[in-house]
A and B are shown apart, each in its own frame.
Chain A
Amino acid sequence: MNTAHKLVEQIKSRHIEPRPQWQYTALKWAVWTGFGLTVLIGALAFSVILFTIQQVDFRLLQHFGHSLLEGLLSLLPLIWISFLALALMLSMYTLRYSERGYKFTLARLAGYSTAFSILLGTAFFISGGAQQLEQAFAIRVDLYQSVQEKKEQLWNRPEEGYLGGTIVSVTPEALQVEDFDGQAWTIDYANADWPPRIQLEPGEQVKLSGEKTGAARFEATFIRPWGGQPLNGPRPKMSPKE
């Protein structure tokens, strides 16, 4: 009896059967589903990071009394950055263990995972989903402080020259603004700078940089829309009466 014969006899006598096809199919599906899910989580995290960046007015940050770094760190969505990093690592791992994943170098694994997450995340951000996701997360997770909450804290420091709120009324001399604590402020804006796209009208949410001049009085040097960076360049300083 030659070795081939022995082998076949051994298979027959021990009733060894090949694993069923469904196990391989299930494994393949599990790996690709894992990859899809991790890319999706990475994309969602990336979209929220984009949303946060949109919410930060970098040109105003440099006017902060504290350092630019401190201002940035206070707004950085560290939790989402962690989610993104974790999701990217997991998606690289699952891709590596796909059928031909070993063919990819580490750089290509990272490249594919990042590219998919960035593309999907950008699409999700453009569709407006990032803001909703961020808010939903803030509502459901007690410990999580939303970008809006952080931003409100950052712009609720009139003593340090930062004020945010909603315009209640507008006159050529002053704005009436209600801050996030419900306190009413009279804003002198004769010497303030604001971008052309901002509408100084009741109901508009704004953030102001300037100086507190009284118990409920504030002199603004910059006025910016609350919802993020203006898309066009800085507007030359002009009087509201112009």
Chain B
Amino acid sequence: MLIASKICDELTDQEVVDRALREVDYFSCLYERYEPALLRYVRRITGAGQDGAEDILQDAFIKIWRNLRGYDPGMKLSSWLYRIVHNEAISALRRQTSFGKNRTVDWADAEPLLLHSLLSEVETEEKNIPAEQLHHWVSQLPQKYREVILLRYFEELDYEAISDVLQIPEGTVATRLNRARKALEKTARSTPAPNQKKIRP
């Protein structure tokens, strides 16, 4: 029997973890709470379709369940979940090279506030760049840059959380983000998105 949403909503992350360890049904609270954000992240990082992303997320949650006692409460639960999901997504991406070839991600469904700051930081001649074009550029970036851009500007995680997800020092997060923005500018100048004019330097 699944736990009612109302009961789940009243519990903190830590309480959900504690209760899930005693009664597995409470694990569904965790899944329901984080599924939308994590599923979106899996689709963005892998370029997988809805079904593929759901499979990856299911596998990731099985790993989360297996490792639930290893969760360190000193870290945000969301960061820990993102870490496991990220690792699972990257493994899946390596196994399944067909991911991303026919990207079906509906990028337009989410345009977080921070994305506008990314647009203003990327120096292009063209203003009011459509989100679709930006997503096309992001998808062209090498994985290590793509993941920091996605975590920072699309998932809106802070540096500390990104450091916990990718298991790198915060200083490295900052450096990598800076390089990623430069790479994005370069990509924007050299790779016009479909039906878009090339942006001149």
Contacts and interface: CB of A to CB of B under 8 A. Distances in A.
A28 to B, nearest CB: 10
Contacts of A7: 27-28, 31, 58, 61-62
Nearest to B28: A4
A11 interface: yes
Contact of B24 (A3, A8, A100, A104): A8
B24 A12 contact: yes
Interface string B154-185: 00000000010001111110000000000000
A29 interface: no
B65 interface: yes
B171 A3 contact: no
Interface residues of B, number: 29
A18 B66 contact: yes
Number of chain A interface residues as a range: 20 to 34
> Which of B21, B31, B163 has the largest count of A CB atoms less than 10 A from its CB?
B31
B52 to A, nearest CB: 14
Contact of B58 (A3, A17, A99): A3
B9 to A, nearest CB: 14
A11 B65 contact: yes
Task: State the majority secondary structure of interface residues on A.
Answer: helix
A3 to B, nearest CB: 6
Given A4-B2, A18-B68, A10 B62 contact: yes
A105 B67 contact: no
Given A18-B21, A102-B168, A5 B69 contact: no
A24 B73 CA distance: 14
A5 B31 CA distance: 9
B194 interface: no
B169 A105 contact: yes
Given A12-B24, A19-B66, A21-B69, A5 B2 contact: yes
Interface pairs A-B: 3 shortest CB-CB: A4-B28, A102-B167, A4-B31
15 contacts: A3-B58, A4-B2, A4-B31, A5-B28, A7-B27, A7-B31, A8-B24, A12-B24, A16-B62, A16-B66, A18-B68, A24-B70, A100-B74, A103-B169, A104-B169
